[in-house]
Structure 1
Amino acid sequence: MNRKTIAVLPGDGIGPEVLDAALPVIEYLGVPLDLEFGDIGWECWRAEGNPVPDRTWELISRSDAVLLGATTSKPPREAAAQLEPELRKRGAQYVSPIIQLRQQLDLFANLRPVENYLGGGTPYRFCVVRENTEGLYAGLDFRDVPDEMWPLVAEHPNVLRSGHADTTASIRLQTSHGLDRILRFAFETARHRGYERVTLADKPNVLRHSSAYVRQRLETIAADYPEIISEVLNVDAVALWMVRRPERFGVVVAENMFGDILSDLGGGVMGGLGLAASANIGEAGGYFEPVHGSAPAMAGQGRANPAAAFLTIGLMLEHLGFASEAEGIQEAVRHVARRRDRVTYDLGGTATTTEAAASIIDACRSAPDMPTAAILSIGDELLSGDLEDSNGRNASRVLGEHGIAVRVRHTVRDDEAAISDTIQGCLGRDDVIVVMGGLGPTSDDVTRSAVARALNRPLEHRERAWQGVVERLTRFGVAIHVDNRRQALFPEGAELLPNPNGSAWGCRAEAQGSVVIMLPGPPRECLPMLAEAMHEALAHLPRQPERTTVFRRTLGIIEADVAALVDELVRDSRLPIKSAYRWHYPYVDIRLDGSADAVGTLAKRVDSALMDYIVTDQHRTAVQELALLLDQHDLALDIDDQLTEGAFAAKLAEERRSSGSQTLSVALSGTWQDGDRENYTGTVALSCTVRDASGERTRGLTIPNRGAEVGTYFTEFAGWSVVRHLTDHRVPEVSE
């Protein structure tokens, strides 16, 4: 394939940093593009009196597409004030770079895709097409109404009160040429992207004559696209339904000002301009730009969301014929945004611009992370505290055994709307959604109708399930009531899950890429059904790469210091690894999850950095590790221990299988500093000395005297010190 040239114009504010973060994706995807960088924007204006220098126009003229970061625009007075005096004398006039590009390249169509990248709720995917060259932004805007126009406005009652000097006017210009090409572009976009509907957003109930002509042009163009539905709606109604029911739209097309407003509204519907990409297209080319603008107040802070830059690159690749690579970028952004994996502040995360970009690139070049699940436990009695949610805990274990990480667990009352809303918030975001409880025959058992509502499917009677209910109740001599028929209702098309231990059958259904599993509440019924359902569900999930988890338990270092050190190693490695931490006094546990190669590489760096603090790579305490070592080497300890008053020896004896025939000497002591033992103030300087035939070695550690639990720290420190002695040096032969 012939290589193509892209003019990259980073621009102002956050423009350069978001493009710097996103552009490496082109190399990772192996797209045959040559990037040539040019100048545009505010600094060009200040230095040269022209925000788009001639050299930039020359670069654009020999490029196949333009990728623009962002540019800053200011009103004429402020723009003139920023010029050097010499340039100001020349009378340079500031014209927005965006306007210059659109006018000189005749880029008549602005395209803004809108999609539910964050997941949850009803899925939607539409785009806003805005006409760029006429409408209310055609430049026919007058501070002083021209004499030729005055007769048209002079009789308006407000003009009569204000007079000629205090009246302004603008003209909404619409031509057959401009209308026909933007409408045809809208229909071609619908055909190319698989949309079934084109909606013209206008104001026909007020702008009766001009809107009637627009409708006439729509009907003429629509005749060439019989497979696509077309309609005309009031722009205010479109705005309402974009928020309330975005799934009803395909392509929304509008004149310049209406389209400007609706396209930004589309960004808000998605979750913000950090996800909003745009393309400006003409007959012979186009430029592609993230919508968020230059945001000069954020420049250099590393907080800007690069997702829009990635999606903009995807739009450009699609335009240039690289459809599969464009879809790969979209899927990566979708994956990262829905899992909130290293996202910036605007999406609820803490990642920097470069960290967020790295997560998207990782998602482009590797298989998705471990599947996630959401668990919903249903019942008022769970929220009131009358019952403990053992189902949620046990379901987490079952899912974990099948390689599925539980992202969230919800406890929801017996309310159809609440259950449905919670499920919808997980659809498209989690691979598996487990809903347990509320499948009985009584009126307060509303789970099945809530699941059907969330899936947007009707309930249907399933005779097989009904016969199962009848057979079980008859077998135990239980009367069958008309209310029992509720237990045979399931969302349309759902796969039934028989219940061998009860009358409430479950079901499995797929929607928006999620598998929804509906189960009864009693543990002896739902847990075996869940285990059985998972075997089938796994067959419908994407095949996952082999993953591994490395575990380290540390002592003598606080959680914040551990996390800061390990997180920096993860960032520096640029490996697709997830780190997690757990503090449980006196330990901090570290877990690294990812591919075996990546985790193995990083684990070596972590071990080197934390060698003075790592106790074990197993889920054992220092005392348990010591007991295993002593049994292995047939050793006993002669303990001089006034610090724990015998607690260390007693705890060790509980863990040992033998008493040992050879003896090591251990002396444990502590000194209270700036406080005292009884009142739990100050710190404690711990010391543990181990003596053997080769000599003695002492380890020390100072810890806060925080409370009675420091006794646990004393014991684990003693165990850790002896373990380090035995593992740092070959165990010598010692005398009894």
Structure 2
Amino acid sequence: MNRKTVAVLPGDGIGPEVLDAALPVIEALGLPIDLEFGDIGWECWRAEGTPVPDRTWDLIDRSDAVLLGATTSKPRREALAELAPELRAGDPRYISPIIQLRQRLDLFANLRPVENYLGGGTPYRFCVVRENTEGLYAGLDWNHVPDAMWPLVAEHPNARRGGPSDATASIRLQTAHGLDRILRFAFETARGHGYERVTLADKPNVLRASSAYVLERLEAIAADFPEIPYEVLNVDAVALWMARRPERFGVLVAENMFGDILSDLGGGVMGGLGLAPSANIGESGNYFEPVHGSAPAMAGRQRANPAAAFLTIGLLLEHLGFKDAAGSIQDAVRHVTRRRDRVTYDLGGSATTTEAAAAVLDACREVPHAPTAAVVTIGDELLRGDLEDSNAGNASRMLAERGVPVRVRHTIGDDEATIADAIRPSLGRDDVIVVMGGLGPTSDDVTRSAVARALGRPLVHREEAWQGVVERLTRFGVGVHEDNRRQALFAEGAELLPNANGTAWGCRAEAQGSTLIMLPGPPRECLPMLRDVLRDGLPHLPEPPEVSTVFRRTLGIIEADAAALVDELVREYGVPVKPAYRWHYPYVDIRLGCPPEAADELAKRLDAALAEYTVTDRDRTAVQELALLLDARGLVLDLDDQLTEGAFAAELARERGTTDGSGSLSVTLSGTWAGGDRTTYTGTVTLTCTVRDAAGETTRELTVPNRGAEVTTYISQFAAWATARHLTEGTA
């Protein structure tokens, strides 16, 4: 394909930021496109007295497409006030760069695609086509009614009360030329992009005469596209249904003002203007622009969402014939926004503009992502506490072993709408959604209808499942009840999962890039079924990378301090490491997942950083570690254990295999309270443990909160830790 030239006009405010962040996608995709940068916007006005210099028009004329960042516009008085006196002398007129581009290039069609990039809910994909050159924005607008118009306006009683000087007027101009080309553009867009319907949004119940003419032109143009159905709806009804049921629309076409309103509403339906791209197409040129505007208050703060800029570049690439590349960008944005792990504040994240753009670029380059899962367990008995929700924990472990960690878990009662609401946010966001429970034959088993509702599909009878139910019940001498037919209903298009241990078959369904697995509730039925699916039924997910775990159990350091210390170590190390922290009194456990080749070096660094706090590298308590040491060395303790009133000695005796030994060790415990005492649990207690043997003596101290009776547990574990360190480290 011949190389293309794109004029890049970064503009004002956040325009340069979002384009700088998104433009590397062209190089990442290896496209034969040359970028030439030009000047436009407010700084051009201030410096030169025009927002679109002649050199920029020359660049536009020799380019195949124009990519605009954003431009700032201000009222005439403010615009003139910012000019130097010598520029102000000629009484220049400030005309918005966008207006200039649309008028000079005759850009009659504004295209605003709207799609469910965030996932969840019913999928939708439509676009708003706005006529740019006439309608109520045609420029036929007067602050006093012109004399020539007065005879027409005077027919209105309010106008007659004041006269021409006390009335304003605007004309909604619609011509056959303007209507025909925008309607034809709408139908061509539907045909070229697979939209099923064209909807004209107008106001025929009020603007009866002009809307009747629009309908005539619509019928004439539609005759050339017989395969595409069309309709005319009141614009206010369209706005309602855009918010309530956006999936019903294909191409929405409207005159200038109605289209202006509906296109911004489309941005709101998507989740905000940070996701909204736009294209302006004409007979003499084009320009492509993120919808969000220049937002000068945000400029330089790295908070702007670059997603709209990426999607706008996608529209530009499609216009230039790079359809596959445009699809790759859309897929990448969809992936990043649905996972929400590297998104900007407007989508609930904390990423900067640059970080969010890097996530999209990684997705475009097909950098492997870490899959995630959601688990939904269902049953009123789980919410009441009648049954332990063991399925959620078991499913989480099985998914983690498959390399798909669970991002979110829900426990839901037997309510169809609530179940569907729990599933929808994970569609398109999580790779795997496991739904367990509520597949029995009774009226309160509503999971299958809730799943179908979340997927937006009807329930259909599956004869294979029904025969399986009948065969099992008959085999065990159980009567087949009509209610059992519920167990043969599944969302349309789902793949059946036979149940070897019960009558409730499951299913799996693909939707919005997610695999939904619906399973019965009894553990002996659902867990084997889930194991089979995870083993054989997820070929689209990559095999989990090999990961080593470095584990340390620490004592005497709080979780926040441990995390700060380890997080800094991980940042300095420079390899992919996933830290996890768990506090369980009195310990803080630290687990670092890392590539196997990095485990030894990471362990050395971790030991150096936590030298004063590490108890063990195994899932054992300090008392258990000490018991193993004493047994291995054949030692008995001469223990002064008044501080715990024998609790330490008793716990140690339970863990030891023998109380005999040929050597002895003297251990003395003491405590000093500050701000409290043994029965008043306030302040702190400073613990001292002195250990003596033939090799020498060591003393260790630790101050801990005197938080309650459980401080005795802390004392026992501290004493065991101090004694074990004496044995392993000596008296040096």
TM-score by length of 2: 0.86
Native 8 Å contact 1:435 1:518 kept in 2:
yes
8 A Cα contact 2:403 2:543, kept in partner: no
Letter of the 2:276 partner, please give it.
A
User: Aligned ranges for residues 523-538 of structure 1 at < 5 Å?
Assistant: 523-538=523-538
Unmatched 5+ stretches in structure 1:
none
Distance 1:306 1:317 in 2: 17
User: Deviation of residue 99 (structure 1)?
Assistant: 1.8
Name the structure 2 match of 1:491. 491
Q: What's 2:682 paired with? A: 681
The 1:716/1:484 distance shift into structure 2, 3 A limit, reads: same
SS of the residue aligned with 2:267? helix
Instruction: Flag the 1:141–1:619 CA change in 2: closer, same or farther, 3 A.
Output: farther
Q: 1:134 is aligned with what amino acid? A: E
**How far, CA to CA, are the matches of 1:222 and 1:599 in structure 2?**
67
Aligned to 1:403: 403
Q: 2:547 is matched with which residue?
A: 548
2:542 partner amino acid: R
Give the aligned residue type for 1:176: A
Aligned-residue identity in percent: 77
Cα distance between partner residues in 1 of 2:522 and 2:394? 12
Looking at structure 1, the residues matched to 634 and 222 of structure 2 have their Cα atoms a distance apart, in angstroms, of 89
The answer as to whether partners of 1:362 and 1:576 remain within 8 angstroms in 2 is no
Higher mean alpha-carbon deviation, 547-556 vs 328-337, is at 547-556
The answer for the alignment partner of 2:129 in structure 1 is 129
Match of 2:467? 467
Letter matched to residue 543 of structure 1: P
CA contact (8 A) 1:370 1:544 kept: no
Query: What's the secondary structure of 2:139's corresponding residue?
Result: coil
Change (3 A) 1:411 1:90: same
Kindly provide the CA deviation profile for residues 575-599 of structure 1, in whole angstroms up to 9, marking residues without a partner as x.
8776554333344445556877899
Q: Is the 8 A contact 2:235 2:258 kept in 1?
A: yes
**Contact 1:144/1:165 (<8 A) preserved:** yes
CA RMSD of aligned residues (A): 3.9
Q: Hey, what's the Cα distance between the residues in 2 that align with 1:114 and 1:439? A: 36
Shift of the 45–339 alpha-carbon distance from structure 1 to 2, 3 Å rule, reads same
Give the secondary-structure state (helix, strand or coil) at the position aligned to 1:148.
Answer: helix
Are 2:405 and 1:416 aligned?
no
Residues 1:320 and 1:472: Cα distance change in structure 2 (over 3 Å): same
Query: What residue number does 2:442 align with?
Result: 442
SS in 2 for 1:277: coil
CA spacing shift, 1:558–1:170, aligned 2, 3 Å: farther
Q: Which amino acid aligns with 2:204?
A: P
In the TM superposition, 1:33-44 aligns within 5 A as 33-44=33-44
1:65 equivalent in alignment to 2:69: no
CA contact (8 A) 1:549 1:591 kept: no
Conserved 8 A contact 1:507-1:519 = yes
Cα deviation for residue 634 of structure 1 reads 8.3
Could you tell me which residue of structure 1 aligns to residue 378 of structure 2? 378
Correspondence list, 1:113-512, <5 A: 113-512=113-512
Q: Distance between the aligned counterparts of 1:552 and 1:352, measured in 2?
A: 32
Work out the CA distance in 1 between the residues paired with 2:642 and 2:620: 25
* Offset, 1:212: 3.1
In structure 2, relative to structure 1, the CA distance for the partners of 1:500 and 1:273 (3 Å cut) is same
Alpha-carbon distance change, 482 to 102 in structure 1, aligned in 2, over 3 angstroms: same
Distance 2:324 2:570 in 1: 30
Distance 1:623 1:50, change over 3 A: farther
The 8 Å contact of residues 684 and 703 in structure 2, kept in 1 or not, is answered as yes
Distance 1:572 1:71 in 2: 41
1:127, CA displacement in angstroms?
1.4
1:207 and 1:636, CA in 2 relative to 1: closer, same or farther beyond 3 A?
farther
CA distance 1:704–1:13, shift in 2 (3 Å): farther
Residue type at the aligned position of 1:548: V
Equivalent position SS for 2:537: helix
Tell whether the 8 Å contact from 2:147 to 2:164 is kept in structure 1 after alignment: no
- The answer to which of 341-350 and 642-651 deviates more is 642-651
SS at match of 1:321: coil
- Asked whether the 8 Å contact 2:403–2:544 carries over to 1, the reply is no
- 1:19-98 to structure 2, matched below 5 A, reads 19-98=19-98
Secondary structure (helix, strand or coil) at the match of 2:147 reads coil
**3-state DSSP of counterpart to 1:149:** helix
Contact 2:130–2:254 (CA under 8 A) maintained in structure 1:
yes
Q: Which amino acid aligns with 1:74?
A: K
Q: CA deviation at 1:498?
A: 2.8
Counterpart of 2:424 in structure 1: which amino acid? Q
Quote the offset at 1:266 in angstroms.
Answer: 0.9
Instruction: State the alpha-carbon separation in 2 of the partners of residues 97 and 418 from structure 1.
Output: 49
Letter of the 1:331 counterpart:
D
SS class of match (1:155): coil
CA distance in 2, matches of 1:723, 1:55: 79
Residue identity in the other structure for 2:286? G
State the Cα deviation string for residues 360-393 of structure 1 (Å, max 9, x = none). 3333334453333332222222223333322222
Q: How far did 1:246 drift?
A: 1.3
1:588-667 matches, within 5 Å, as 588-590=588-590, 618-621=618-621
Distance in 1 (alpha carbons) for counterparts of 2:67 and 2:649:
70
Give secondary structure in 2 for the equivalent of 1:343: coil
Q: In 1, are the aligned partners of 2:402 and 2:544 still within 8 Å (CA)?
A: no
Cα separation, 1, equivalents of 2:74 and 2:601 = 50
Report if aligned partners of 1:551, 1:618 keep a CA contact under 8 Å in 2: no
**Aligned-partner Cα distance in 2 for 1:59–1:434:** 55
How far residue 133 of structure 1 moved from its aligned partner, in angstroms, is: 2.0
2: distance between equivalents of 1:227 and 1:589?
65
Name the CA shift for 1:184/1:558 in 2 (closer, same or farther; >3 Å): farther
Structure 1 position 311, deviation (Å): 2.0
Give the whole-Å Cα distance in 1 for the aligned partners of 2:584 and 2:22.
Answer: 39
Letter in 1 for 2:244: R
- Please give the per-residue CA displacement for 1:49-104, whole angstroms capped at 9, x wherever unaligned: 33334444444444443333322222223333444455444423322222223223
Q: Secondary structure at the match of 1:206?
A: coil
CA positional deviation for 1:526:
2.3
Distance in structure 2 (CA, Å) of the matches to 1:191 and 1:89: 53
Closer, same or farther: CA 142–483 of 1 in aligned 2, 3 Å: same
In the alignment, the residues of structure 2 paired with residue 425 and residue 725 of structure 1 have an alpha-carbon distance, to the nearest angstrom, of: 54
> Matches of 1:528 and 1:706 in 2, distance apart?
45
Distance in 1 of aligned mates of 2:474 and 2:722: 66
Q: Which runs of 5+ in 2 are unaligned?
A: none
Length, aligned pairs only: 730
Relative to structure 1, the CA distance from residue 702 to residue 490 in structure 2 (aligned partners, 3 Å threshold; closer, same or farther) is same
Q: Identify if the C-alpha distance between structure 1 residues 397 and 149 changes in structure 2 by more than 3 Å, giving closer, same or farther.
A: same
Q: CA deviation at 1:164?
A: 0.9
CA distance, structure 2, for counterparts of residue 492 and residue 610 of structure 1? 56
CA distance in 1, matches of 2:699, 2:484: 73
Q: CA separation of 1:167/1:385 partners in 2, compared to 1, >3 Å: closer, same or farther? A: same
Q: 1:386 to 1:545 in 2, by over 3 A?
A: closer
Asked if the contact 2:550/2:593 (under 8 Å) is kept, the reply is no
SS in 2 for 1:302: coil
What amino acid sits opposite 1:218 in the alignment?
A: L
Question: How big is the shift at 1:232?
Answer: 2.7
Q: Is residue 675–residue 682 contact of structure 2 (8 Å, CA) maintained in 1?
A: yes
8 Å contact 1:288–1:313 — kept in the other structure? yes
Superposition deviation, residue 134 in structure 1: 1.9
Task: Measure, in 2, the Cα distance between the counterparts of 1:348 and 1:44.
Answer: 35
Change (3 A) 1:326 1:458: closer
Question: CA contact under 8 A between 2:423 and 2:454: conserved in structure 1?
Answer: yes
Q: Provide, for residues 422-444 of structure 1, a one-character-per-residue CA deviation record: whole Å limited to 9, x for no partner.
A: 33333333333322222222222
